[in-house]
Amino acid sequence: MTYLILFILSFTLTYLIKNYAIKKSLVAQVNERSSHTVPTPHGGGIAIAITWFVGLCYLYITDGINTSLFYAFSAGILISVVSFFDDLYELSPKIRLIVQSSVAITGLIAIGGLQSIDLGLFAIENQFITNLFAFLLIVWYINLTNFIDGINGYVGSMFVFLGVAGLILVGDVYFGVLIASVLGFLYWNWNKAKIFMGDVGSTLLGYNIAIITLYYANEQSTNLWLWIILFGLFWLDATVTLIRRKLNGEKLSQAHKKHAYQRLTQAGWSHYKVTNYSIALNIVLFSIVYFVHNIFLAFFIAIIVLSLSIKYVDNKKRFE
């Protein structure tokens, strides 16, 4: 019943935000980075954020969530608020980075930092190294999720997938809150999107998956790789694209349309088709971590699968 109420809340808030944005002409204009062709309302991530934090507060009151994890997630409120103003006024990259760094440090402190990084043959337990890695992972996940948010249903379906994976693999109830929060929005964003998520949603979701990854890595060190695999479609595309653009001598802050999902749409695929194929690939990644019990072998297989996927995209639309 709780999940249903949260879904209705997210669904209703998204609808109201959509209508308000249309009335006030708060729409995402078509630009050189856009994969859409029609100005569309944005800010649907506000509904995700409100529903998510309402759900977390309910879990906290009913002892349904670990206190340290609740505090870590709660730090994401600052990300949401600043990203809301960024959607409206386009804040400077320096301000965004300062806020993201502050939230990353706060989240790390709340979960007790990252205790170790298990590399199979040995583990890194130097706290400076592990926490520097964790800090960079949080900041990168926040930004790459924002970069990847570009076509209908793409980011929303990823986080519904991660929520379902979490329920199956771990069973913690806040994964259900995540699903309900995103699913209510996704109804309006699926296929022919009537509203976009905006930075307020994508940055918060990126922060959440980073905290989830690090929190469970502290419970069992190999979980770090499990959650990295499950989020692999996004981080590998974003990281490979960033490296390629750097090697091309491009200005990294400049808008572009070179991510794999963007190149597929340029090759003639509809948003609907790209999103559906991404869901299928995520199911493959989940199957790998579910059935391959050696996590390092699973990681190796996942990287091969993802690399072949990027090669397939390259064949469809060459990276230039």
Q: Which residues contact 102 (CB under 8 A, 6 or more apart)?
A: 78
pLDDT of residue 210: 98
pLDDT of residue 30: 52
pLDDT, tens digit (0-9, with 9 covering 90-100), for 211-253:
999 999 999 999 999 999 999 999 999 999 999 999 988 887 7
Closest CA to 161 of 314, 278, 10: 278
Residues β-bridged to residue 124: 117
pLDDT surpasses 90 at 32: no
pTM for the complete prediction?
A: 0.93
pLDDT of residue 213: 98
Please compute the mean of the pLDDT values over residues 302-306 and round it to a whole number: 97
Q: Is 40 helix (H, G, I), strand (E, B) or coil?
A: strand
Amino acid at 124: I
pLDDT, tens digit (0-9, with 9 covering 90-100), for 138-165:
999 999 999 898 788 999 999 999 999 9
Torsion of CA 247, 252, 257, 260, to 10 degrees: 50
pLDDT of residue 37: 53
pLDDT of residue 26: 64
CA distance 51 to 66: 19
pLDDT of residue 316: 87
Torsion of CA 64, 288, 147, 188, to 10 degrees: -60
Torsion of CA 41, 155, 272, 179, to 10 degrees: -100
Cβ atoms 289, 230 nearer than 8 A: yes
pLDDT surpasses 90 at 89: no
Rg (alpha carbons) of the chain, rounded to whole number: 19
pLDDT of residue 110: 97
Please compute the mean of the pLDDT values over residues 267-293 and round it to a whole number: 94
Q: Which residues contact 17 (CB under 8 A, 6 or more apart)?
A: 41, 43, 44, 46, 47, 195
Higher per-residue pLDDT: 230 or 90: 230
Matching residue, tokens 């469970």 = 216
pLDDT of residue 22: 84
Please compute the mean of the pLDDT values over residues 39-67 and round it to a whole number: 92
Q: Element (H or E) spanning 144, and its range?
A: helix 127-148
When mean pLDDT is compared across 121-125, 140-144, 256-260, the lowest value belongs to 256-260
Please compute the mean of the pLDDT values over residues 40-47 and round it to a whole number: 86
* Buried/exposed 183-196: b ≥16 CB within 10 Å, e otherwise: bbbbebbbeebbbb
Higher per-residue pLDDT: 31 or 39: 39
Task: Report the percentage of the chain scoring pLDDT > 90.
Answer: 74
pLDDT of residue 138: 98
Mean pLDDT of the residues in the chain: 91
CA distance 177 to 195: 21
pLDDT, tens digit (0-9, with 9 covering 90-100), for 164-200:
999 999 999 999 999 999 999 999 998 787 898 989 9
